[in-house]
Amino acid sequence: MPKKNKKKTKAGKKAAPQVTMVAENRKARHKYEILDQVECGMMLIGSEVKSMREGKLSLDEAYIRTKDNELWLIGADIAHYNNAGMWNHDPRRPRKLLVHGREFDKFAGRAHERGLTLIPLRVYFNARGIAKCVMGLVKGKKLHDKREAIKKRESDRGLQRAMRRR
């Protein structure tokens, strides 16, 4: 019986699964209060996957809508893949997101409440090389909430500096 080669770290434990981050929606943390989040799959074509592996994805102005009991990622910009030739994709086409039925019921039902929306928070390739999107159920922040968050972050940063100098 042949032995399987398992990668192990020095302590004898298995290596952590390799996750490759493609894009993150950093503005979302500033603009919105994230109430809940869930991981979902993405239906992509070949040239989109290859372009994403090069890191050419923008989540600015992207959002998620429900249509016919399906979730669609709208406004995400995946740049053209240079070597695709005439089989290239439309950079801003809507892309279907894949979730379990119970997760769809939970998120889509709550997204129809007043003031709540679904947005993509980050996109990455998991250890198996499958593209995943983390979508969040969010509520928009008011201007005074954003100012409070900035004040809190600056005061925390000042405390960290003071602790390092001690």
- pLDDT value at position 32? 86
pLDDT band, residue 69 (cuts 50/70/90):
confident
Give the pTM. Answer: 0.73
- pLDDT value at position 14? 65
Output the 3-class SS for the chain: CCCCCCCECCCCCECCCCCEEEEECHHHHHHEEEEEEEEEEECCCHHHHHHHHCCCEECCCCEEEECCCCEEEECCEECCCHHHHHHCCCCCCCEEEECCHHHHHHHHHHHCCCCEEEEEEEEEECCCCCEEEEEEEEEECCHHHHHHHHHHHHHHHHHHHHHHHC
Walk me through the domains of the chain, giving residue ranges and CATH numbers.
20-165 (2.40.280.10)
- pLDDT value at position 74? 92
- pLDDT value at position 78? 87
**Residue 8 scores a pLDDT above 60:** no
* 9-54 pLDDT, tens digit each: 566 666 666 888 888 888 888 888 888 889 999 998 888 888 889 8
